[in-house]
Amino acid sequence: MTENAYKSGFVSIIGRPNVGKSTLLNRILGEKIVAVSDKPQTTRNVIRGILSDESSQIVFVDTPGIHTARTRINRAMVDAAMSAVTGIDIMLLVVDATQRIEEPFIRDICAKSGAPVFLVLNKIDQVEPKEKLFSVIEGYSRLHDFPEIIPISAQSGSNVERLVNLLRERLPEGVPFFPEDILTDLPEKFICAELIREKVFRLTTREIPYGTAVVVDAFQERENGVVAITATIMVERDTHKGIIIGKQGSMLKKIGQQARGDIERLLGTRVYLELFVQVQERWTERTAMLRELGYE
């Protein structure tokens, strides 16, 4: 291998819900392209985020959290996550360092992985006292011969650069898979829908976020450089529609304002965002709807 050969490869980000996988992807890219919330099962699709520099390209694959799925949509989410356990160059198995070690889960994922597994201990900012980290590392290292165990904080960014450097070292020589100036292979429309859905996840509670999907109906760049976006928030029930709209439209306004801020930052332009709310009964259990939304 030559000293400065170009390196490229696929790195999947796998783990339980809510451990910080999507936060890590956004942190690595330095841009927000995937939804993050304090609620489990925020991510619903496999989403690729691309990090390119002069000498490497790493294609990160963010996945839904792996959990015991009971509903149709959740089963589709777990299947999507499991599809990213193989066919990759390196797996980042992300765990929450403050939570107990789930031995059977860790062993099972490592056994199924088709690639070396780096263990990422996230949320170390919440580990107190810091010495506790040693016993956590020791506990995990007993379960599998991890080539790397990397404690990080995806939120603060602590040690994330080191993680990326370790990946670069380990990646095979290769050519870039994607143009070097794109952050994701997904259309901007999809990312915008994600950012709107994130606001619903953050601003609503109980079953509401889980019965919500967002579709961008129109995405149009106008002559004055402004991007005009029309999107529909789909909900499962009339009562949910009322909650999403809020008193005199206050909730919908809040969702729109916050989403517009994120979309403007991402696109680097001014954005007009118009939101509609539509009831689609039991869409989370309907094949046609799940397909249309890209969840199956």
Ligand X SMILES: Nc1nc2c(ncn2[C@@H]2O[C@H](COP(=O)(O)OP(=O)(O)OP(=O)(O)O)[C@@H](O)[C@H]2O)c(=O)[nH]1
Among 123, 197, 199, 240, binds ligand X (CB under 6 A): 123
Q: How far is the CB of 56 from ligand X (least distance, A)?
A: 24
Q: Which stretch binds Mg ion (CB under 5 A): 39-47, 92-100, 130-138, 223-231?
A: 39-47
Does residue 41 interact with ligand X by CB under 6 A? yes
3 state SS for 138-152: HHHHCCCCCCEEEEC
Does residue 8 interact with Mg ion by CB under 5 A? no
7 vs 21, beta carbon nearer ligand X: 21
Does residue 43 interact with Mg ion by CB under 5 A? yes
Does residue 151 interact with ligand X by CB under 6 A? no
Q: Which stretch binds ligand X (CB under 6 A): 153-161, 164-172, 253-261, 277-285?
A: 153-161
Q: How far is the CB of 93 from ligand X (least distance, A)?
A: 12
Does residue 20 interact with ligand X by CB under 6 A? yes
Q: Is the CB of residue 31 less than 8 Å from the CB of residue 266? A: yes
List Cα–Cα distances, 19 to 38, 48, 272, 275, in angstroms.
10, 18, 33, 30
Does residue 38 interact with ligand X by CB under 6 A? yes
Q: How far is the CB of 125 from ligand X (least distance, A)?
A: 5
154 vs 259, beta carbon nearer ligand X: 154
Q: Which stretch binds ligand X (CB under 6 A): 122-130, 169-177, 187-195, 284-292?
A: 122-130
* d(C-alpha 267, C-alpha 165), whole Å: 28
Helix axes 238-245, 250-267, angle to 10 degrees: 70
Does residue 95 interact with ligand X by CB under 6 A? no
Binding region: 15-22, 62-66, 122-125
* Residue among 11, 19, 8, 72 at smallest CA distance from 41: 19
CA triplet 204, 208, 210: central angle to 5 degrees? Answer: 110
* d(C-alpha 296, C-alpha 287), whole Å: 8
Does residue 159 interact with ligand X by CB under 6 A? no
Among 125, 185, 292, 296, binds ligand X (CB under 6 A): 125
108 vs 217, beta carbon nearer ligand X: 108
Instruction: Choose the contact partner of 153 out of ligand X, Mg ion, none; CB within 5 to 8 A by kind.
Output: ligand X
Instruction: Choose the contact partner of 19 out of ligand X, Mg ion, none; CB within 5 to 8 A by kind.
Output: ligand X
Under the rule (CB under 6 A), what is the footprint of ligand X?
A: 15, 17-23, 36-38, 40-43, 64-65, 122-123, 125-126, 153-155
